[in-house]
């Protein structure tokens, strides 16, 4: 019998704490392996492909029309990109001067040895696509001149709640101009919740719409549930944001054979995919010893690179392309950026041809005049139920799921929050909605050029534990070039959400 996505996630929620105790894949009832990436998108959106060589970022740049003409000399200089993900690791391919650490809102922020650092490996892969510069392999990101602000939300197994994502988006909006030389103009969100809330009141859609209206291009992964899933994940369903699907590039730089990747949600019910970008077997930075590195050793390429596929990777490619476009044309609004990128290269093959999808092309975007009229969709009021935004995506602690109108940090009153968010006052220093969840400013220290401070969370965890400390955190440390953890099993916090990488390999 065919399983619904909700039924599958419910099974995952029950099995996940056991699955994390060893083993590379989660086996749900029915015997279907669940890739590790599913722990991130509602869901962090990533997948392996049949290609063993991988697609280089040099080839990606050629595919998206950014290696010739007016685009060839663009680097994204002067453009800030916010990466809401699993943190980043201080690998050699990520120059410290191009990286800023915003507040760490993950559960691992409560561990000195894990704070800001990417213990999963997903965020480092995304960062490499955007601003990487790996001299060992000659790999450069699509926008190596951009300034990357990392907000860590996910743990080593991807555990995250939608409330942490909302708080992070709020912070980006309020602090978008902290660096006048590199204002945040792009927000990369390789995440999608399992909720299907009313667009008229959804808090998550309200948050990303506020960012959009503040002049930030919000780039969101469409989802990795496969072409048979006709709905995009939330907030890619929001009509304003730029929803990105992954293109299968078939190992060539020609777009003539490109098609919609089989793992991408098709978007034929409700909002459609806005654009496609390369997203299969993308070679980006490896996070040595991280959870995915230990679980998928076959995905390694040399000593510094790692292969990953998913709408996550396609989203990072698109965020970098937006940075290039904004460097060249800084007066463009988010609506205009979206309009220009949607008029890219038409794909004629397979599912992409049937759905009339287009792949981003930077040179084409640079040559066009944006439409005079902007988007005028109804806006979310933001006063809906937080639990509806979660849907069947649940973060659990000691097998206790977080439910109801509660954030990770405490009670949530959506109408009050929406009013404070609209006034850009949901954050005051390190306090979000009256609860201290980060330090009070740029007072922290880390490997990055600048770091937002940290704080010990005073709230009591919803599971009844007396502290936020996870016993599995001990013995894990970044030793300068790699993680020294023996394994990443036994986590107290887990999630039925996933980041939008479908597979690694």
Catalytic residues: 85, 122, 312
**Is 365 in contact with 331 (CB distance < 8 Å)?**
no
Nearest to 452, CA basis, from 152, 89, 160, 107: 152
Provide the 8-state DSSP code for 380.
Answer: P
Q: Both tokens of residue 248?
A: 């299968």
Provide the 8-state DSSP code for 406.
Answer: B
Residues facing residue 493 across a β-bridge? 397
**Is 190 in contact with 43 (CB distance < 8 Å)?**
no
Can you spell out the DSSP letters for 294-305?
Answer: HH-GGGEETTTE
Nearest to 322, CA basis, from 95, 58, 100, 79: 79
Q: Cα Rg for the chain, rounded, in angstroms?
A: 20
Q: Both tokens of residue 330?
A: 């800084």
Helix (H, G, I), strand (E, B) or coil at 279: coil
Tokens 């799921």 sit on residue: 401
Residues facing residue 400 across a β-bridge? 397
Half-sphere exposure of residue 433, counting CA atoms within 13 Å on the CB side?
A: 23
Rounded Cα distance, 450 and 173, in Å: 18
Helix (H, G, I), strand (E, B) or coil at 37: helix
**Is 66 in contact with 142 (CB distance < 8 Å)?**
yes
Rounded Cα distance, 453 and 24, in Å: 34
Rounded Cα distance, 110 and 116, in Å: 10
Q: Both tokens of residue 425?
A: 């006052």
Q: What are φ and ψ of residue 416, in 5° steps?
A: -65, -45
Name the strand (E) or helix (H) holding 245. Answer: strand 242-248
The Cα-based distances of 495 to 163, 392, 398, 501 in angstroms read 13, 10, 11, 15
**Is 462 in contact with 161 (CB distance < 8 Å)?**
no
CA 441-185-244 angle, to 5 degrees, is: 120
- Please give the distance of CA 80 from its chain centroid, rounded to a whole number: 16
Nearby residues of 24 by Cβ (< 8 Å), 6 or more positions away? 36, 295, 296
The Cα-based distances of 14 to 9, 398, 487, 492 in angstroms read 9, 11, 22, 14
């Amino acid at each position: 019998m065919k399983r619904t996505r909700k039924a599958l996630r419910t099974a995952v929620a029950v099995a996940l704490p056991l699955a994390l105790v060893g083993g590379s894949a989660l086996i749900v009832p029915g015997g279907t392996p669940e890739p590790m990436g599913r722990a991130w998108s509602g869901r962090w959106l990533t997948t392996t492909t049949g290609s063993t060589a991988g697609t280089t970022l040099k080839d990606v740049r050629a595919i998206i029309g950014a290696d010739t003409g007016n685009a060839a000399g663009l680097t994204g200089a002067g453009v800030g990109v916010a990466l809401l993900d699993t943190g980043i690791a201080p690998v050699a391919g990520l120059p410290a001067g191009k990286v800023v650490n915003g507040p760490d809102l993950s559960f691992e922020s409560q561990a000195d040895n894990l704070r800001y650092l990417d213990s999963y490996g997903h965020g480092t892969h995304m960062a490499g696509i955007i601003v990487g510069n790996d001299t060992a392999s000659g790999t450069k990101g699509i926008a190596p001149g951009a300034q990357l602000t990392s907000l860590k939300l996910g743990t080593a197994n991807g555990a995250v709640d939608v409330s942490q994502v909302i708080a992070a988006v709020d912070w980006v909006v309020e602090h978008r101009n902290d660096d006048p030389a590199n204002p945040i103009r792009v927000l990369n969100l390789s995440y999608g919740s399992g909720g299907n809330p009313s667009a008229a009141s959804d808090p998550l859609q309200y948050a990303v719409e506020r960012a959009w209206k503040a002049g930030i291009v919000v780039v969101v992964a469409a989802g990795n549930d496969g072409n048979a899933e006709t709905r995009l994940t939330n907030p890619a369903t929001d009509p304003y944001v730029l929803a990105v699907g992954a293109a299968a590039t078939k190992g060539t730089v020609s777009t003539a054979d490109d098609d919609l990747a089989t793992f991408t949600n098709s978007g034929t019910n409700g909002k459609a995919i806005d654009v496609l970008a390369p997203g299969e077997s993308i070679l980006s930075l490896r996070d040595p010893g991280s959870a995915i590195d230990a679980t998928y050793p076959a995905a390694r390429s040399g000593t510094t690179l790692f292969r990953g596929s998913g709408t996550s990777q396609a989203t990072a490619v698109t965020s970098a392309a937006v940075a290039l476009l904004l460097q060249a044309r800084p007066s463009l609004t988010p609506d205009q950026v979206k309009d220009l990128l949607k008029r890219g290269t038409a794909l004629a093959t397979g599912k992409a041809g049937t759905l009339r999808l287009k792949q981003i092309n930077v040179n084409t975007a640079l040559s066009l005049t944006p439409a005079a009229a902007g988007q005028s969709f109804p806006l979310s009021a933001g006063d809906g139920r937080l639990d509806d935004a979660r849907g069947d995506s649940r973060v659990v602690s000691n097998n206790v799921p977080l439910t109801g109108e509660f954030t990770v940090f405490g009670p949530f009153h959506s109408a009050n929050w929406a009013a404070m968010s609209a006034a850009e006052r949901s954050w005051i220093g390190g306090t979000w909605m009256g609860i201290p969840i980060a330090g009070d400013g740029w007072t922290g220290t880390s490997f990055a050029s600048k770091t937002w401070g940290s704080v010990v969370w005073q709230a009591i965890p919803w599971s009844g534990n007396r502290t936020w400390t996870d016993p599995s955190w001990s013995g894990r440390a970044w030793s300068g070039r790699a993680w020294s953890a023996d394994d990443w099993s036994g986590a107290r916090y887990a999630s039925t959400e996933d980041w939008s990488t479908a597979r690694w390999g």
